[in-house]
Each structure stands twice: as structure tokens, then as C-alpha cells.
Chains A and B, each alone.
Chain A
Amino acid sequence: MPTLTIDNQQVTVTDGSTVLDAAEQLGIIIPHFCYHKALGPVGSCRMCAVTVHEGTFKGLKMSCLVKAEEGMVVTTDDQQSVEFRARVGEWLMLNHPHDCPVCDEGGECQLQEMTIASGHGIRRYGGKKRTHNNQQLGSFVAQEMNRCIQCYRCVRTYKDYCGGSDFGVMGSRNRVFFGRYKEGPLESDFSGNIIDACPTGVFTDKTYRFKSRYWDLQEAPSVCPHCSLGCATIPGGRYGELQRVRSGVNEKVNGFFICDRGRFGSSYVNHPDRRRQVRSDGQPLTVGDGLSKLDAQARELIEEHGPEAVLLLGSNRASLETNWLLQRWAAELGCRAPLLSAHLQRHQAAQVAAFDLSDRLASLEKVRQSDLVVLFGVDPLAEAPMLAVALRQAARNGALIMVYDPRPIELPCEVDHQPTSPAQLLAMLVSDCEPEIVRIREMLSEAEMPVLVAGGDLLGAEGLLRVKQLAVEQSNEKRPCLIHPILGGPNSFGSAVLSLPEQDDLLTRLESGRTKMLICVETDPLLEAPEGERFGTALSHVDNLVVFDYLPTPLSVHANLFIPSTAPAESAGSFINNEGRQQLFAPVTNPRLPIAETGAGNHPPREFLSTAPGSDPQPAWQLLQQLLGDMGDLETVRQQMATAVPRLVDFTNLQPGGVCCRVTDADERSLYAGDLPEQPEGSLQLVVTPARYGSDLPSRFSAKLTPRFAPAVLQMNPKDAAALKLAAGSKVSLDTEVGSFNLILNCNKDVAAGCALVENGAAFPHLVPGGLPSFCQVSAGVRDD
């Protein structure tokens, strides 16, 4: 812990800190470009120069490279340093075009800020500027190479940090070019990070091009709703339109970067089909009238048919507050406790994570620091993309990454992947002699910071419990063996924390015929539950279907009463991520019809209204408060909730985009998930995996992501295909318990033998990941059903 003096102020910093870090601790921001917290220093831009008066190396030094020493004396504002930094500013601006008025970076341009900070103002260079031809890099990232100041951050982000393989630096001297070998869409699932990493307008968000100036944009810290990791994001909106998302910083979770699904998957908020008005059997109503009608009908039904007549359904997309108020409203109505998920198996897996694993959860930060990560039933790029980047960081530091999964796993790092079918996976976890588990045990016992990553969808509750057994057995006094579970949705853990121990199934309840009214809050079981078709049939028993949602789901079209709620970016709320971290999000914009739509490209109509068109949607928690007749604001709700659910972190300690804490440990829940089914002879194990884009509903309804949507295919190991005499590329019929589907066959040797793999997504929504282990037949030809 050296103490040093910077600009006459003393500061004590941790060992290994640089002078740049130490200055920042004092609030002195030394201008810099090539240094980035996640990428580290490389010493190329020379902008962060300071003068070292006392220390091992004296004189003008780059503060990003010089380690803080005891007794060091440094100045940042002496003439030598100030003058040198001004020169660096001048050098960097030699070729920079004066196109700030038409540059999307304007207003949030680090080059602009640092140039001013460096003191460079007047251009003296009168020579020719170098110019470049730009490349078309696909639909996400726009390139304008003339603006480049060669800080190398893009290539360090894209290639070194995120592991992309189709981007690099070409040429040399003052003509270096950052781009692809040939024009074409960037292939990495983390390509958008170069937008954030670029300190100027070389790489900008193409989907946001010319939409807003930074200072006109409304931004607020948020939590990504696209998977269970809960990465920090900063969405930005204007004129009722959510225009872009950039990465937030959460060192415990995503670090500094996010995935493309999170970045470019935000346009669901502005979906043209989004319903923004209460509709009762097709008739528009005010929100107040709609809620009164709902309240009256619900009470009437319960009175007439008993507590089973009304069924409330929460979800892992709905916030913690919404799910909890749903429970309160149920109690107030006198109906049975709500189900907090339409997907029983996913909900059970989440409960195992939230209860049984709660004392051994690992954050993504822990994954990055681990020296041995073993993944059981997880495909990171499909289920939790930033996990892949975290694994890469571990691997870069020398960690070994082992994956046991039936899918053809692609990771941006070296990985030891053993294709393993779901049944093999579950069996090996409790085996004493299976060679792979013997090998894993041996390696785990030698690892210093081992982490087991467990996929809730593939392993189910039972599999997660088996991974826990392994972790318990591999923990010792010196270090625990931690688990990083991957769950179904952004608030899976949260709804599990709130859930009651009793297990209940939506379909059983509906098929009993006793439910007269079903109220779905931010969920569509047709798309989000494993047996969508059976749910559809069961719905016929229900007289009254009520839907609260912000997505134009099929279910909301069928609803007798539809009440529009707000998207996470339009409301305050909280989610609990896959490792139990309670995180707040803040509202970015108010819900309203985007001006771009109301004006149809022209100026919007000049009518004087007291409210904006389409501004009816309200946060679901607020709608529920009205139904409860409670006028308490969000703080009050949170206070009540934290009191009622002692595991939750006191909300007053948390901040959106700032402090987030893990909920406290809980006792084991000891769920009984049921026996694993036997595999019928001659069948294949059915593996349903989320598509990388368009499996979670927000991304499916985001038009920006459609270029990345993949066509529906069935994947099999070529040996299995050969045994069944099926040719790769041919049309095959997939027969499952829930129906038959015609698909094109792809053969891939990295698919585990004995498995048939399909991706759930926009092109194939029929099968949903995370259901009970099930089996299927694959046969040649097309079947008409």
C-alpha cells in the first residue's frame, strides 16, 4: 500500500496500482486514450504523461505504465507535462477531420474531451491528411476510418478481450487501418463493444445513426433483460423511442462490455405492433376503467366459484416488485397464491439456485478469476453470452475451460469440449467410475479457484442438485468450490426467491377447469412455456383471459382484457440475476408513441393535448398498487417487500448502475422434481437450445436483431444421421411428444451422439428450452400434420 504525492496531495493506493489510478483516486483525471480499465495499459498514445520528481524512474513518464511507489512525488500540471500532452493532442488531431457537426460521437467524444483537456486548440499542421476508404461492417457498426487516432482500443476490445477472429489492424505508420480482412458483417457476438471502446467516431452504432445528439438523449442505468446474467446497460431514448443501448460498468458482473443481443436487442420497446391502450374485448378503455373492471370481475368470480376461480401468473420478465405485489393482490383478493412462472421446470431450477446453491454462488467476476471452470450443460453464447467473454478472460490468465454439453459449443477461447448427452451428463455427475468425472474430480481437487457453471435448462433442478453435490465434495477449508448457475430469464432468481415451497403447475391448474379467469403478467406461456400448444388448448377452459404486457405477444391479442405495462427501460424496478445479485434499474424514457411513428416521417400533428399519444402504459407494479388500492410509491413498496422477504437486500442501500448486493443465503428447499423419464428404445434425446438471437422474447420482438436470426434446422451427429440413413441438408421430420415438425438436417460432429438438437427462436418457436428431458424420433421426408 504505497503512499505517494500527486500535485501536492497525498494518496495511498493498493499495491500494483499505476500513477494514473492513484491520480484518479484523488479526482485528478489524467487525459488518456489507449489505457482502458478492462484492456489495461499499452503505452501507445503517450497522452497520460506526467512528471515524476521522486521515484525509481524520474522525468516525463506515462502514468498508465508507471507503478505507484512509496514516497513517489508526481506532478500532472507542471509545464513539461502540460506542454507534452498538448503536443500529443496536436499529433492525434493531425489527420482528424473537422466533421464533428455530422459525427454521431459528437457530445460524447473522448477525443473532443481529451483534446480540450490536453490544451491543444489551434491547428498548426498544414500538410495533407491521410484518408481511408471505409468498410461496410454489417447492420450494427458503422465505420468512418478518417476519424481514427490509432489508439488500438477497438482491436484490443474485439480481438484480445472478446476473442473475435475477423477483425484486426492492417498497414502501418500513419496509415494503420482497423477493420476486417474483407468487407462484410462483423461476426463476433460482441461486435458492438468497439462502439463503446472507440474514443471517437470511427465505430458508431449504425442502428442509432443520426437519431439523437448525446445531450438530447435520455439515459439511465439499467439491467439487461435478455438473459439471466443481469449485465449493466445504459439505454438511451428520445421522443418516446428507445434508440440505443450502451454498456454500463459492473465489475462484479459484465465488467465493461455487453453482448450484441443486449446492445441491439432493445427495439422491442418501440415495436410497431405494441399495444399501448387498455382494450376490453376489442374496445379501448382508460387505464382506470380497465383496472376497475378487472377488480370487479375478479372479486365476483372468487365470490361465485371460490379461490380457484382466479389464477395469477407472474414471470421471470416481471420485476421483483411486480411479482411480489401480485402475491399481495392474490392475498387481498382471496385467491390462491400466484404462480410466478409458467415454466415449471425452469422455475424449479431457479429455486434450486436461489435456495440450495445460495451459499456457494460465484459471480462472473469469480469466473474471470478462476483457474479451472467446468461447464455442465451450458452453451454460453446461446444462454448467457457474456459468460463466454468471462471464460475467455479466465483462459487468458491460464485457466482451463472444460465443457460437458450435447451442443456444438463455440467459445472465444481454447476449450476442452466433450460432447455429452443430457442423460450422460446427469449420470456422470453421480457416477464414481465414469472416466470423465474421475478426471474432473482430480483436476478440481488441484484447482485454486474452481468454478462449476451449471445450466439450469439442460440439467433441471435434479441436475443442479447433483452439481451441488460435486461442489460440496470438492470444497475444502482452503477454498470453496463455487457454482455459477445459468437460469432462464432476467428475474428467474427473483421470482424463485419469492416463490412458495409448494409446487404447482399452470397446466394442471388450468386443465382442472376450475380456473375462470387467468391473469398473465408480462408472460406469454404460448411462447415461454414448454407445452405451448397444450396451454393453448387448456385456455379454452378459461372464460376470461387478462394480459399485462409491453410486448405484442400472441397471447395479448387473444386477451379479453389487455392492460399495457411498461418495458424495463420505461420504469424503475429490480431484478435478481443468476447468482443472486439484487440489482435496480431506473426509467430511461416515459412510455409514449415515438414521434417517428406519430408523425409518419413528418412533423407530428399540431394538436394540443395534455398527454402524449400512447402514454397509457404504466409499470406493472403501479397497476397492481392501484388494484390494491394502495397509494404507496415504489420506495414504500420496496420497504414493505424487504420486510416481508428478509432475504432481500435493504433497497435503500442499492443504486441503479451503482451498488448491487447479493441476497442472503437460505436453507435448502429440497424440491422433489420427479423421477427422470426412461428413454424409449430407438429414440433420440431431444435437446432444445435457445437461439443466440430471438429466443428470449424481448430479442424476438427487436427488429434490429433480425439480421442475426438463424433459420430453423435440426442438428445431429453425422453418425446418428448415417444410422438413420438421413442425408445432411435434406428435409426431415422431427416427432416429439408435443408435435411433429419439418426441418432441414444439419450434421455436426460436435453434437453429442444420440441427440437431436433444435434451436428455439423466431424461426422455430414451437419447442421451448428447459423442459423435462424428452425424446424424439427423426425420420426422412416431410410429414403433413
Chain B
Amino acid sequence: MAQEEKIDQIGLLEEEELAAFIDHACELEHPREMVIDVLRAIQKNHGWVPDEGVELTATILGITPIEVEEVATFYDKIFRRQVGRFPIHICDSICCWSNGGEELAEQFQKTLGITFGETTKDGLFTLLPSCCLGVCGQAPAVMIHQKLYGPLQLDDVDELINRLRREASA
């Protein structure tokens, strides 16, 4: 256990989680197949994947950091830069676009006072454009922490943001 604590120096994973990953990596013939699982777990705990997370993943899976980075930087739902506590993925694909997705995106930007790629000063929200979220029947939609919201009217934005703010201060 002492050694396990050492490989996760900044506490990116829960102790049991880390132990489970290490055990699972030992069982698998190709531990590398877990790379997304580990990165997602780190992101879930830490909000995003810092360099230490890439290095920790590499250590758990017995591969090099560049091998993890090659994969981590490919996927748009793995954050290699700090994001707010609530990264808001706003769908900009065709069904949401045809149902007022652009106006919705503008409303989010206006409400939060940030543009895409930015994080609010309080560190709560980051706005990100996203491809189709798979809820085309409920357009326009957004996703926050793998939870989907849609169809959203422009009026819903304030309420959603306020709800998340309350959640954050609770």
C-alpha cells in the first residue's frame, strides 16, 4: 500500500479505486485497454486530468506517459486543461442547430459572461461546444457530467445555472 500511495502523489484516485485498478491491470492480458477507464476516473475525482494523472495512468498500466497522452489528447471528453466544476457541453450538431442550438449557446454565453473554451471567474462553469449528444429528439440539448438536459428553452438557462450554483454552494 505504501508503494501505491507513492505512485498517486496528489491523490487523484481514491485508495480503493487505485488498488482496484492495479489489481485489474495485473489480471488483464492487455492492461492498456483500461486507459480510458483510468483517465475518466481521475477526471471524475479531480475535474480534469493533470500531468500527474497522465503519469499515474501510465504507471498503473505499465506504459509510458506519451502512450497515455496520445490517447488522452485524442478524445474531446478528456480534459487535459483545467475546466470549471461544471463543464457544459452544448450540442452544436444538426438537430440541435435546427432547433435553436445557436441561440441557446448565445444565451449560455451571455448568462455566464464567457465564450466557448472559457471558465467563469468563480471556477464553476466552462462552456464547450460538443458534437451530437445522442438526444436528437430532445433538441436543443446540453450535457453536464454525463447528464443530459433537453429540450432547453432560452428561459431554462438561468434556472439551470442557478440550480448548479446552489448545488455547488451546498
Contact = CB atoms under 8 A, between A and B. Distances in A.
Chains A and B share a contact (CB less than 8 Å) = yes
Interface of A: 165-172, 177, 180-182
A259 B67 CA distance: 24
B96 interface: no
Interface string B40-56: 00000000000100100
Contacts of A165: 64, 66
Nearest to B73: A170
Contacts of B69: 168, 170, 181
A169 B67 CA distance: 9
Interface string B55-98: 00000000011110110011000000000000000000000000
A573 to B, nearest CB: 42
A170 B68 CA distance: 10
The 3 tightest CB contacts between A and B, nearest first, are: A181-B66, A170-B73, A168-B66
A172 B66 contact: no
Contact of B74 (A167, A172, A180, A182): A172
Contacts of A177: 73
A171 B66 contact: no
B70 A168 contact: yes
A171 B66 CA distance: 12
Interface residues of B, number: 10
A166 B73 contact: no
A268 to B, nearest CB: 33
Contacts of B54: 181
A180 B64 CA distance: 11
Contact of A169 (B51, B64, B65, B70): B70
Contacts of B74: 170-172
A180 B73 contact: no
A168 B67 contact: yes
Nearest to A170: B73
A182 B70 contact: no
Contacts of B73: 170-172, 177
A180 B67 CA distance: 10
Nearest to A177: B73
17 contacts: A165-B64, A165-B66, A166-B66, A168-B67, A168-B70, A169-B70, A170-B70, A170-B73, A170-B74, A171-B74, A172-B74, A177-B73, A180-B66, A181-B64, A181-B66, A182-B51, A182-B65
A539 B70 CA distance: 59
Given A166-B64, A177-B73, A182-B51, 16 more contacts: A165-B64, A165-B66, A167-B66, A168-B67, A168-B69, A168-B70, A169-B70, A170-B69, A170-B70, A171-B73, A171-B74, A172-B73, A172-B74, A181-B66, A181-B69, A182-B65
A395 to B, nearest CB: 18
B76 to A, nearest CB: 8
Nearest to B72: A170
Nearest to A166: B66
Contacts of A180: 66
Contacts of A167: 66
A370 to B, nearest CB: 27
Nearest to B64: A165
* A166, A180, A181: most-surrounded residue (chain B CB, <10 A): A181
A165 B65 CA distance: 9
Nearest to B76: A172
* A167, A169, A170, A172: most-surrounded residue (chain B CB, <10 A): A170
A492 B132 CA distance: 67
B111 to A, nearest CB: 28
A184 to B, nearest CB: 11
A182 B54 CA distance: 11
A169 B65 CA distance: 12
Contacts of A169: 70
Contacts of B65: 181-182
A752 to B, nearest CB: 26
B93 to A, nearest CB: 16
Contacts of A168: 66-67, 69-70
A180 B73 CA distance: 13
B52 to A, nearest CB: 12
Contacts of B51: 182
A211 B69 CA distance: 35
A172 B73 CA distance: 8
Contacts of B64: 165-166, 181
A169 B71 CA distance: 9
A167 B69 CA distance: 10
B129 to A, nearest CB: 14
A166 B67 CA distance: 9
B92 to A, nearest CB: 15
Interface string B18-51: 0000000000000000000000000000000001
A167 B74 CA distance: 15
A166 B70 CA distance: 11
B71 to A, nearest CB: 9
Contacts of A182: 51, 65
A166 B69 CA distance: 11
B101 to A, nearest CB: 21
Nearest to B63: A165
A167 B65 CA distance: 10
* A166, A168, A172: most-surrounded residue (chain B CB, <10 A): A168
Contacts of B67: 168
A181 B64 CA distance: 9
Nearest to B54: A181
A171 B51 CA distance: 15
Nearest to B55: A181
Nearest to B67: A168
A277 B73 CA distance: 58
Contacts of B70: 168-170
A165 B51 CA distance: 17
A446 to B, nearest CB: 26
A177 B66 CA distance: 12
Nearest to B69: A181
A102 B41 CA distance: 46
